[in-house]
Chain A
């Protein structure tokens, strides 16, 4: 698959190549890594709620923070 040639339309109507799309995704993950520990813990609690309410993990203990 030629990631340089295949293009994708983003929700904001930008058209980028698949290669650029993967690079943007990578950058977004790295940006998330820069969040404060407090913000990450708040996101973690949301993930625990999703796992409990939507996933197959009814026994998940959702942290009380």
Chain B
């Protein structure tokens, strides 16, 4: 994992994306007890703003990794032994990257999405497996409730969150 993060940091330094943060299940795992997952979701902010009608082109990023000898396995690119998925971040996800928490993993600097933004992102996705992670985060992570409410209201997720909490 350490070497995967080193590659991601190099990519950021080379300008292949403006910023990144670990998202998805691995970010949740940072704040909860360990659970099974297979891939490392990396939310990236591209150098250029994404317009609504635009086709997102990550070919420069893929080309860079291909030239370094990394190979694909299904939807993942295996970077230093870890399946990575790059997810261009817009809106809520972009803000989640910008307000991510800077951490170190075995001495390598990286950034991870905060539990408050993760709850909003998982609620927004709304699949059963996402709801399980919301429950885990609410039970086990230190949540800034005020911050969470601001995010949920900003992205019209507050009512959904209330319904989720009521559902037990």
Residues of chain A having any CB pair with chain B under 8 Å: 26, 29-30, 32-33, 35, 37-38, 40-41, 43-44, 47-48, 51, 60-61, 63-65
Stretch from B13-21, B53-61, B78-86, B118-126 at the A interface: B78-86
How far, in angstroms, from A48 to B35 measured CA to CA in the complex? 10
- Interface of A: prevailing SS: helix
Interface contacts (Cβ under 8 Å), in number, total 58
Q: For B73, give its contact among A37, A41, A61, A63 (CB under 8 Å).
A: A61
Q: Which 7 A-B pairs have the closest CB atoms?
A: A64-B81, A32-B33, A33-B140, A43-B34, A40-B34, A47-B36, A33-B33
Most chain B C-beta atoms within 10 Å of own C-beta, residue among A29, A44, A48: A44
- B109 at the A interface (CB under 8 A): no
